[in-house]
């Protein structure tokens, strides 16, 4: 059998996933994860001063690097964006969790360091983890709205792109976002019970 290039492999997996093969997603996931993670870190080290991270630019770059452009129908791009948003969420949540863990761990001896930088992470990562949890509950009630949030907040996509990925109108995206955001706000600030 001819050796597959990684580009070719990813392109094929995307096509299979689009056709409904769920196990293709399992194979796709780690490949895209690694690439996005690598890119995210590179972007961050390059832009560390300003602390900005353009997720869309990053995903676009990953797309160009990972997917064989010539033989790919447009719909694959949407699928790639959808999975990338999911993975960006995972990457950030993984990091957040590790921070919480590192903060708690260490076990035997802990010395408080006087610098504020040591406490910035747990606070921010805590918020992110709580958002992730709330988003999971949302997905149980309303998978589409939770996906809109994932694409926009974690994937950095704009409404037009989201509409394309989910095959819904831009108006619907706006409405979904409004509702989901209000609900998440309620969950995170505790201003309403479920």
Partner 1 sequence: MTPERWQQISRIFKSAILLDNEERAAYVASQCGRDASLRVEVEKLIDSHGKADADEFMNGIAAEAAAPLLTDDEIGPRQDVLSKGQQFGSYIILDSLGSGGMGEVYLARDTRLDRTIALKVLSPDISQDNRRMQRFRQEAKVASSLNQPNILTVFEFGEVDGLTFLATEFIDGETLRDHLHGKRLKLSETVDISIQVLTALDAAHEARIVHRDIKPENVMLRRRDGVVKVLDFGLAKVTEHKYSTLEHDSDPEAITEFRTAPGVIMGTINYMSPEQARASEIDERTDIWSTGVIMYEMVTGKMPFRGSTTSHTIVQILEKDPVPLTKLVKAPAELERILMKAIAKKPGERYQTAKDMLADLRSFQKRVEMDTELKQTLPLIIRTQDDLGRQKKRVLVFALIGMLLVTAAIFAVNVWRSSRFSTSPSVTTPAVAPVERTLTYWITVQKFKGRNPYQEPFTLAGEINFEADYRIRVNVRSPQPGYLYILNEGPASGAPEYNVVFPTPTANNGASLVPAGETILIPKESWLRFDTQQGVEKLWLVFSESALPELDSLKQFASTQTRGLIADPLRNKAIKDYLDSQSTSKPEVEKGESLTTVRAAGQVLVYAIKLEHH
Interface positions with partner 1 (CB under 8 A):
40-41, 44-45, 48, 50-53, 55, 58, 88-89, 91-92, 95-96, 98-99, 103-104, 106, 109-125, 127-128, 131, 140-142, 149, 152-154, 156, 175, 178-179, 181-186, 188-189, 191-192, 194
Q: How far is the CB of 115 from partner 1 (least distance, A)?
A: 3
Tallying the residues shown for the chain, one arrives at 194
Of the pair 31, 53, the CB lying nearest partner 1 is at 53
Of the pair 22, 194, the CB lying nearest partner 1 is at 194
Q: How far is the CB of 101 from partner 1 (least distance, A)?
A: 12
Residue 67, Ramachandran bin (φ over 0: left; ψ between -120 and 50: alpha; else beta):
beta
Of the pair 8, 175, the CB lying nearest partner 1 is at 175
Of the pair 13, 164, the CB lying nearest partner 1 is at 164
Provide the terminal-to-terminal Cα distance of the chain, rounded to the nearest Å.
55
Q: How far is the CB of 11 from partner 1 (least distance, A)?
A: 26
Cα distance between residue 154 and residue 165, in whole Å: 14
Cα distance between residue 51 and residue 39, in whole Å: 15
Q: How far is the CB of 131 from partner 1 (least distance, A)?
A: 8
Of the pair 35, 76, the CB lying nearest partner 1 is at 35
Q: How far is the CB of 176 from partner 1 (least distance, A)?
A: 9
Cα distance between residue 180 and residue 148, in whole Å: 8
Cα distance between residue 94 and residue 86, in whole Å: 12
Cα distance between residue 60 and residue 105, in whole Å: 37
Taking alpha carbons only, the member of 68, 92, 54 closest to residue 10 is: 68
């Amino acid at each position: 059998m001819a050796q597959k290039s990684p580009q070719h492999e990813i392109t094929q997996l995307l096509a299979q996933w689009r056709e409904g093969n769920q196990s293709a997603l399992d194979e796709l996931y780690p490949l895209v994860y690694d690439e996005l993670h690598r890119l995210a870190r590179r972007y961050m080290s390059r832009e560390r001063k300003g602390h900005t991270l353009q997720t869309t630019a990053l995903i676009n770059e990953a797309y160009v690097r990972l997917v064989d452009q010539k033989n790919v129908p447009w719909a694959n791009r949407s699928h790639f964006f959808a999975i990338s948003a999911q993975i960006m969420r995972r990457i950030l949540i993984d990091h957040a969790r590790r921070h919480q863990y590192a903060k708690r761990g260490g076990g035997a001896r802990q010395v408080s360091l006087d610098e504020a930088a040591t406490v910035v992470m747990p606070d921010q990562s805590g918020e992110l983890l709580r958002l992730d949890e709330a988003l999971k509950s949302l997905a149980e009630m309303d998978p589409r709205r939770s996906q809109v949030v994932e694409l926009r907040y974690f994937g950095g996509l704009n409404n037009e792109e989201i509409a394309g990925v989910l095959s819904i109108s831009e108006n619907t995206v706006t409405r979904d976002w409004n509702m989901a955001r209000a609900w998440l706000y309620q969950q995170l600030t505790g201003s309403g019970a479920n």
